[in-house]
Chain A
Amino acid sequence: MAAPKVISRTSTQEELASDYKWGFVTDIEADIPPKGLNEDVVRLISAKKGEPEWMTEWRLKAYRYWISEDYREPRWSKVSFPPIDYQDIHYYSAPVKKEKGPESLDEVDPELVAAFNKLGIPLAEQKALTGVAVDAVFDSVSVATTYQKQLEDLGIIFGPISEAIQKHPELVKKYLGSVVPYSDNFYATLNSAVFSDGTFAYVPPGVRCPVELMTYFRMNSEGTGQFERTLIIADKGSYVSYLEGCTAPMRKTHQLHAAVVELIALDDAEIKYSTLQNWYPGDKDGKGGVYNFVTKRGKAAGKNSKISWTQVETGSAITWKYPSCILQGDNSVGEFYSVALCNNHQQADTGTKMIHMGKNTRSTIIAKGISAGQGQNTYRGLVKIMPTAQGARNFTRCDSLLIGSKCGAHTVPYIEVRNPTAHMEHEATTSKVSDDQLFYLMQRGIKEEDAQYMIINGFCKGVFQELPFEFAMEASQLLKVSLEGTVG
């Protein structure tokens, strides 16, 4: 479509701010140790948390592995960035607590609450009415958890992992690192050494968690890395749906985000994990933005268990993540639904791994990549059928949508089959928002920007409908905001 509107661009602060509506900085005192990483910093983080000895040792083991010679960032992904100076990062930043810890919402720093309100985060009581339990991680520390009582009555544990380490060491000890070992990859190892908080959830046998559990992550302090650690365990016959949302203020420098998420589903249990990732993507020229290097993996350990990942990735300068499923239990199911958007100079290399080990295991992969501006979007996926996985099935569909002529879409599917009974299906398409479609919608009276958005939304529909309803609306809005100004 011929460009009808010229959008003038001057890089004033105000305009930048209006481009990224989550780009405000909250002025609260932060407790930040000096930059850089060594054993003392690891010990300091552990000490700040009052952690038991075994936890400190686990961190140190990871740290020592991390500094071992030749251990470095994986280089096989299709993203490029200048070397990261790991000694130039703050590894811990906690808002200074005015007194002791907040016991209820009333005690949370009003500045924080205001920040969450700006994010539209349903931290306050009204959110309880809509049935969402929220754990909010601000920089590195979990600040408030709503809905606690109701969950406790059901025996559900939901809260900061730092608290779980204190109160439920047997669970943490048993499962932490059981899906993503500390030696898994460079970023996961770093996370294992320095993670300062994150979310822990445990759903006891036979319990169907009645609300969506939710964590909002936000980076605030400049020059900090965020390394949260999430561990979710669904015991036999239980069900839990977990949502995470991420935002970060605008920064001229890149911020590092290296999270680890581990999910464990025992017999007949199901975990549904949804992500709305909207870290600051950097400005129009690719300045600033979050490096999002995340390791997410779930183990469908028990028979008939199910792990389902749904992600909408619109933020970050670089996204490197492959939420994966190890399908260990017989008849277990793995799902991956993804929308990844790259605008301006954003790069995404994302996808999944489905490792089939149990009999009759099934996996579904639906990946939608949208590239606009000079964005580079790569789907990278592995489907591996082990010799033990008799009767395994996989269906993969990768669709790429291009907006404009300077962006790129890449699809890199790996398929490894070691059992002849496997059924594999793979479909892939690449398309552009067609002039014919745009004209058709506009001819019916719909404005160009809305028309474009409808087409893109239609393209993503198969993924959005996997999200909980409220989140789906938010995802749809987020996409719209992220694509503003790409029409033409």
Chain B
Amino acid sequence: MAQTNHNRPILDIRDLHVSVGDNEILRGMDLSVSLGEVHAIMGPNGSGKSTFTNVVAGRPGYTITKGEIIYEGESILGMFPDERARKGIFLALQYPVELPGIRNREFLRTALEALREARGETKLAIREFNKFLEEKAKAMDFEPDLMKRNVNEGFSGGEKKRNEILQMSVLDPKLALLDETDSGLDIDALKVVSRGVNEFRGPDKAIVLVTHYQRILNYIKPDFVHVLIEGRIVRSGGSDLAQELEAQGYEWLREPPEQAA
């Protein structure tokens, strides 16, 4: 690993093996992420990128057969998604879910209250919260009216992705996992999303950004780039690695097929 930093990692992935049904998706993944860092994980379709982010967030449906996920020095494998969220892990979903009958505003307020309670903070008054949300929404180019609409219901693809970044900005996690937040965005939306991520970025935040394409990395400059192929990180480097991948594709990084025993 090409990482040198003085911080203790906030996220430490050790020899992680994950299966879905009989399929082994992650086959010994290692990754170490510290506060203040932005990591980009790139790789072809089916390499295990989304599996990785989902497993860190605790999504059901995955079996961890081996390895560890250490967050802030403790294993989180036994924790439910909501516990992980309350410890500061946020996942921007690749496919944000529609929540009929639940307004964006009440959704965000309920979530924020749960997090604030976990952080030992007092409740925000409704008026305070509304003002806070309005500012955040404006920063993501959202009309205030959108906050009164049901979560993601009838939202365009771009609106859904921007809504994920808005949630990140409101909930203020320590570790943000962005699962292909750039996919399906036009250039204007991509700029808005990137602006949101860059504003979030800071010495007490860690970001892991999963993407197919180098494009978003023109706007969000990563400290580290990792290439995930067939469930393993096969190459790590600085942001120049992304350019190299854009030019040459992934094929040259693939290991030669193993000989049948």
Contacts and interface: CB of A to CB of B under 8 A. Distances in A.
Given A439-B81, A444-B85, A450-B110, A455 B99 contact: yes
Given A4-B80, A455-B99, A459-B101, A440 B60 contact: no
B82 A451 contact: yes
Contacts of B58: 443
Contact of B102 (A434, A435, A436, A455): A455
A476 to B, nearest CB: 12
Contact of B59 (A439, A441, A454, A459): A439
A429 B111 CA distance: 28
Interface string B42-76: 00000000000000011111000000000000000
Nearest to B114: A445
Nearest to B102: A458
Name which of B61, B110, B167 has the most chain A CB atoms within 10 A of its CB: B110
A439 B100 contact: no
B101 A461 contact: yes
A437 B97 contact: yes
A446 B101 contact: no
Given A2-B60, A455-B99, A443 B81 contact: yes
B118 interface: yes
Contact of B80 (A436, A442, A444, A458): A442
Interface string A434-472: 111101111111111011001101111110000000000
B18 to A, nearest CB: 16
A1 interface: yes
Given A444-B85, A444-B171, A445-B82, A458 B101 contact: yes
Given A450-B110, A461-B101, A443 B80 contact: no
B110 A446 contact: yes
Interface string B74-98: 0000001110111000110100110
B111 A446 contact: yes
A454 B102 contact: yes
B107 interface: yes
Contacts of B111: 441, 444-446
Contact of B118 (A436, A445, A457): A445
Nearest to A458: B101
A370 to B, nearest CB: 13
Contacts of A450: 110, 114
Name which of A1, A445, A446, A457 has the most chain B CB atoms within 10 A of its CB: A445
A458 B171 CA distance: 22
A437 B150 CA distance: 13
Contacts of A454: 99, 102, 107, 110
B41 interface: no
Contacts of A437: 97, 99
Given A4-B80, A450-B110, A454-B110, A443 B101 contact: no
B171 to A, nearest CB: 6
Nearest to A2: B60
Name which of A443, A454, A461 has the most chain B CB atoms within 10 A of its CB: A443
Interface of B: 57-61, 80-82, 84-86, 90-91, 93, 96-97, 99-102, 107-108, 110-111, 114-115, 118, 150, 167, 171
10 contacts: A4-B80, A439-B60, A440-B96, A440-B97, A441-B111, A444-B114, A445-B111, A451-B82, A458-B99, A458-B102
